[in-house]
């Protein structure tokens, strides 16, 4: 079954609001084994909403319309559906009572135009409103002799999510002949470009294209790494898992330690877990990233069990005075090692990670923009250092430096006896 999505609102086209609703709906549809192949944003214009809806119904079995159910003159979703159904809008007294009660419950006087929300196309079913004043709608439509369905839900995210779970998804599942589910498995990787991954996985991709399932896609996700996503469609979640497992195993064998996690794993969670397993604390010395590594690590609830702190030594004087780095060039492996050793000492940490580099706009110490020196100081007193060249301009260079440094720490920890 195919269900496309139409998000209604001029503010979406103007970029005043990002359309997160259709993303959420798309995720929910996939989890319920329903394809969503087209998602459209259209403004508050009756003719265009109507056109978009007719087109969507020509391709899809069902359409979820999100937004345009409010009380004001530019809320036109009801009118558009009524036109496409060829059914007049009728005043629903029960819906109107509920609206009046909602206002009374909030001790607010109700503007008359709120009763526009009680208009329901003839033949449509109402999804009772429990959070906002606008009810949702379930509207059967006959297109070329085939009965399809249009759902209308409010644009307010929590109202939409409530009606989607309570009424729309159950109704879609009921109508759907296809009981299959779509299951995705995402391998999180770092250490190679998207194209490099693609080339190494070429044989796998070739086999998958022959088999037709699971499908494989690459998602370059900035400082969250590059994701390799496998998606399988099957009668049950267990069947889908059975399709995914051997492919995942094969990819892991090819990519080895480049796979740092799965699905919602993040590099910082993985690193914190490796340290937690050894009972080690972590300290940082950040220069080029200016606190971004610490900021990311402390996003993880419970990070305080492992992470003690960071010396953000942005000025060279702080590197010299606080961390004990030798006066001289501060973008070098030697400086990075001294920063790491200094952070271990100052913060009383078991392990320390240090970053120094050149984010630009100009070169520094004769090192070009993009240079990153990373050092790791370990409990046995050893310290290792690497010099890398990061891509991009200031922000991208800094973000890539964060995940690259955390990945180097991860590899150090994995390599330890």
Applying the rule CB under 8 A, the residues between 117 and 156 that interact with a second copy are 131, 133, 156
* Nearest-angstrom CA–CA distance, 211 and 193: 26
Q: At its nearest, how many Å lie between a second copy and the CB of residue 42?
A: 6
Among 32, 44, 152, 335, the residue binding a second copy under the rule CB under 8 A is 44
Query: Which residue, 158 or 382, has its beta carbon nearer to a second copy?
Result: 158
* Nearest-angstrom CA–CA distance, 366 and 389: 14
The reply on whether position 303 binds a second copy by CB under 8 A is yes
The reply on whether position 52 binds a second copy by CB under 8 A is yes
H helix or E strand, kind and range, residue 147: strand 146-153
Residues 374-393 contacting a second copy, CB under 8 A: 389, 391-393
Binding letters toward a second copy, positions 266-295, x by CB under 8 A: ---------------x--x-x--xxxxxxx
Task: Locate 110 and state its tokens.
Answer: 């109700």
Whether 89 contacts 137, CB under 8 Å: no
Binding letters toward a second copy, positions 217-236, x by CB under 8 A: xxxxxx------x-x-----
The reply on whether position 161 binds a second copy by CB under 8 A is no
Among 184, 213, 273, 334, the residue binding a second copy under the rule CB under 8 A is 184
Among 54, 55, 252, 276, the residue binding a second copy under the rule CB under 8 A is 55
Query: Which residue, 96 or 308, has its beta carbon nearer to a second copy?
Result: 308
* Strand arrangement, sheet containing 215-220: 215-220, 226-234, 181-189, 259-262
Residues 311-350 contacting a second copy, CB under 8 A: 311-315, 317-318, 321-322, 346-348
Q: At its nearest, how many Å lie between a second copy and the CB of residue 92?
A: 17
* Nearest-angstrom CA–CA distance, 216 and 205: 7
User: From the CA atom positions of the chain, what is the Rg in Å?
Assistant: 28
Task: Locate 31 and state its tokens.
Answer: 């989890």
Q: Per-residue b/e over 247-270, b at no fewer than 16 CB within 10 Å?
A: bbeebeeebeebbbbeeebbbbbb
The reply on whether position 254 binds a second copy by CB under 8 A is no
CB half-sphere exposure, 159, CA atoms < 13 A: 21
The reply on whether position 113 binds a second copy by CB under 8 A is yes
Angle, to 10 degrees, between the axis of helix 46-59 and the axis of helix 77-85?
Answer: 50
Q: At its nearest, how many Å lie between a second copy and the CB of residue 198?
A: 4
Nearest CA to 114 out of 70, 69, 71 is that of 71
Among 1, 2, 8, 25, the residue binding a second copy under the rule CB under 8 A is 25
Query: Which residue, 341 or 347, has its beta carbon nearer to a second copy?
Result: 347
């Amino acid at each position: 079954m195919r269900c496309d999505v139409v998000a209604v609102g001029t503010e979406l086209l103007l970029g005043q609001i990002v359309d997160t609703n259709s993303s959420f709906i798309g995720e929910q549809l996939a989890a319920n084994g329903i394809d969503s192949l087209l998602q459209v944003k259209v403004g508050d214009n009756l003719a265009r909403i109507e056109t978009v809806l007719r087109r969507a119904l020509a391709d899809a079995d069902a359409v979820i319309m999100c937004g345009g159910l409010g009380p004001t003159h530019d809320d036109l979703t009801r009118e558009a559906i009524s036109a496409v159904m060829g059914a007049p809008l009728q005043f629903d007294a029960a819906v109107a009572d509920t609206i009046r009660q909602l206002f009374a419950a909030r001790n607010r006087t109700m503007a008359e135009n709120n009763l526009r929300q009680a208009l329901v196309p003839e033949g449509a079913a109402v999804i009772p409103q429990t959070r906002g004043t606008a009810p949702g709608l379930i509207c059967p439509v006959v297109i070329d002799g085939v009965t399809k369905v249009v759902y209308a839900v409010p644009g307010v995210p929590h109202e939409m999510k409530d009606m989607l779970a309570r009424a729309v998804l159950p109704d879609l599942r009921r109508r759907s002949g296809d009981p299959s589910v779509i299951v995705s498995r995402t391998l999180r990787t770092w250490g190679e470009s998207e194209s490099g991954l693609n080339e190494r996985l070429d044989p796998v991709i070739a086999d998958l294209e022959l088999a037709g399932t699971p499908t494989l896609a690459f998602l370059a996700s900035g400082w969250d790494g590059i994701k390799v996503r496998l998606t399988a469609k099957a009668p049950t979640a267990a069947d889908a898992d059975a399709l995914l497992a051997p492919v995942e195993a094969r990819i892991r064998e090819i990519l080895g330690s480049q796979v740092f996690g799965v699905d919602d794993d993040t590099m910082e969670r993985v690193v914190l877990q490796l340290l937690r397993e050894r009972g080690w604390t972590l300290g940082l010395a950040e220069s080029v990233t200016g606190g971004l590594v610490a900021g990311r690590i402390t996003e993880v609830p419970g990070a305080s069990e492992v992470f003690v702190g960071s010396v953000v030594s942005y000025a060279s004087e702080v590197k010299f005075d606080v961390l004990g780095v030798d006066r001289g060039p501060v973008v070098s492996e030697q400086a990075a090692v001294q920063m790491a050793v200094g952070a271990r000492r100052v913060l009383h940490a078991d392990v320390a990670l240090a970053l120094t580099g050149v984010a630009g706009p100009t070169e520094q110490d004769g090192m070009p923009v993009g240079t990153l020196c990373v050092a790791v100081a370990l409990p046995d007193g050893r310290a290792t250092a690497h010099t890398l060249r990061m891509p991009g301009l200031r922000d991208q260079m800094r973000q890539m430096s964060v995940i690259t440094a955390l990945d180097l720490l991860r590899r150090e920890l994995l390599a330890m006896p």
